Amino acid sequence: MRDWWRDALAGGVPPTAGRRRGVVLRQALILLTGMRIDEALEALADDVEGHWLLIRESKTHQPRILYLSRQALGIVHALHAASRQRCLFEVGDGTSKYLAAWNHTQSFWHQLVRECKGAGTHDPGEKRHQSLRRMMSTWLYKRDPVAESAQLGHGSGVVMKHYLDVIRRLPKILDKYRLPDLDVEGFSWPQPIDAGLQRPDRLYAEFRKLVSRRRR
């Protein structure tokens, strides 16, 4: 992971440096949250409340609320800041409605990842987003299997029965995770952001509506 990111950032041919940085930051967001690639690229910025994000659609067809650590929120802020800078001379303020400020297709994302130098000894067909999700899943499972089910969307009776209590266990664990130092000149991880740990009542009310509709 570290070597791939380092090589991708240091690459000297297209994609541009900005796009390479965007790939690394979005992959880091996947690692920090355990989101699937479609969730990471399609999650809505409006579905964030403090440190919490509502995932409306997933592979399991079950909504969930996951925790965005201070590092993850810092990355989201940096992605949106970069998006606004690129749109400086375009109509509108350039603000994306998507959490990860990704306004393209998933196929373009996969193409961009393939074009990033840094494959090196890695299989060029490797689905890096899946590897990053597995890394977070393994790390979190060792510390709290029930919390891992809630964050990753694996689901269980215990998770659903005590949902708010379970997700409130996530901040204490996930804020301990640290991204590796890449030691690339001109690159540093965005500064973490603290948005407060108030209960996500707005998201939870929407979550309950979505769960109720799916049970009908």
Read off the pLDDT of residues 80-96 as tens digits, 9 standing for 90 and up: 998 876 544 444 455 78
Summary mean pLDDT of the chain: 87
Q: Given this model, what pLDDT does residue 216 score?
A: 63
Question: Residue 46 and residue 35: Cα distance in Å, rounded?
Answer: 17
Question: Residue 14 and residue 170: Cα distance in Å, rounded?
Answer: 38
Q: What confidence tier does 156 reach under pLDDT thresholds 50, 70, 90?
A: low
Q: Given this model, what pLDDT does residue 14 score?
A: 78
> 192 — alpha (psi -120 to 50), left (phi > 0) or beta?
beta
% residues pLDDT > 90 (the chain)? 66
Sequence-distant (6+) residues with CB within 8 A of 156 are 146, 149
The CATH number of 2-177 is 1.10.443.10
pLDDT at 188 over 70: yes
For the CA atoms of 6, 152, 55, 5, the dihedral, rounded to the nearest 10 degrees, stands at 0
Q: Given this model, what pLDDT does residue 176 score?
A: 95
Residue 156 CA, distance from chain mean position:
22
Q: What strands lie across the sheet with 52-55, from one edge to the other?
A: 48-49, 52-55, 64-67
Q: Given this model, what pLDDT does residue 38 score?
A: 94
Sequence-distant (6+) residues with CB within 8 A of 205 are none
Q: What confidence tier does 121 reach under pLDDT thresholds 50, 70, 90?
A: very low
- Evaluate if pTM is beyond 0.75: yes
Which one, of 128, 130, 78, 86, lies nearest residue 104 by Cα?
Answer: 86
pLDDT at 118 over 60: no
For 35-89, the pLDDT digits (tens) are 999 999 999 999 999 999 999 987 777 899 999 999 999 999 999 998 876 544 4
More confident residue, 87 or 101: 101
Q: Given this model, what pLDDT does residue 160 score?
A: 78
pLDDT at 200 over 80: yes
Segment holding 67, helix H or strand E: strand 64-67
pLDDT at 189 over 60: yes
